[in-house]
Amino acid sequence: MFPAAKSLLVAESDAIRHASEILDENFQRAVEILLNHRGKTIICGMGKSGHIAKKIAATFTSTGQPSVFLHPAEGAHGDLGVYSPGDPTVLLSKSGTTDEILCLIPVLKKFESKIISIVGNASSPIAKFSDVVIDISFAKEADPLQIVPTTSSIVSLAIGDAMAAELMSRRSFSKQDFATFHPAGQLGRNLLLRVKDVMSPLSSCAIVKPGSTLREIVIAMTEFPLGAALVMDRDDILSGLVTEGDIRRSLKENESFQNITAKDIMSPSPKCIDADSHVGEALQIMECGPSQISVLPVMANGTTFGKSKVVGLLRLHDTYKH
Give the whole-angstrom CA distance, residue 316 versus residue 314: 7
Q: Give the chain's count of helices (H) and strands (E).
A: 15, 12
Neighbours of 219 (CB within 10 A): 14
Q: Which of 117, 67, 72, 113 is nearest to 92 (CA)?
A: 117
Calculate the dihedral angle through the C-alpha atoms of 182, 183, 189, 191, rounding to the nearest 10 degrees: 60
* Mean pLDDT to the nearest integer, 1-19: 96
* Mean pLDDT to the nearest integer, 172-200: 78
Which of 205-219, 227-241, 286-300 tops mean pLDDT?
A: 205-219
Mean residue pLDDT across the chain: 90
Q: Which residues pair with 278 in a beta bridge?
A: 194
Specify the 3-state DSSP secondary structure of 206.
Answer: strand
3.40.250.10, 1.10.1660.10, 1.10.620.20, 3.10.580.10: which CATH number matches 195-319?
Answer: 3.10.580.10
Judge whether residue 321 has pLDDT over 70. no
Angle between helices 151-170 and 3-21 (to 10 degrees): 40
To 5 degrees, how large is the angle CA 182–CA 113–CA 100?
A: 90
pLDDT at 45: 97
Whether 195 contacts 273, CB under 8 Å: yes
Instruction: Give the pLDDT confidence of 104-117 residue by residue, as tens digits.
Output: 999 999 999 999 99
- The Cα-based distances of 293 to 211, 242, 251, 296 in angstroms read 25, 12, 21, 7
pLDDT band, residue 318 (cuts 50/70/90) = confident
Instruction: Give the pLDDT confidence of 55-89 residue by residue, as tens digits.
Output: 999 999 989 999 999 999 998 888 999 999 999 99
pLDDT at 74: 92
Instruction: Give the pLDDT confidence of 95-105 residue by residue, as tens digits.
Output: 999 999 999 99
Domain ranges of the chain: 3-173, 195-319
pLDDT band, residue 160 (cuts 50/70/90) = very high
3.40.50.10490, 2.60.40.10, 3.40.50.920, 1.10.520.10: which CATH number matches 3-173?
Answer: 3.40.50.10490
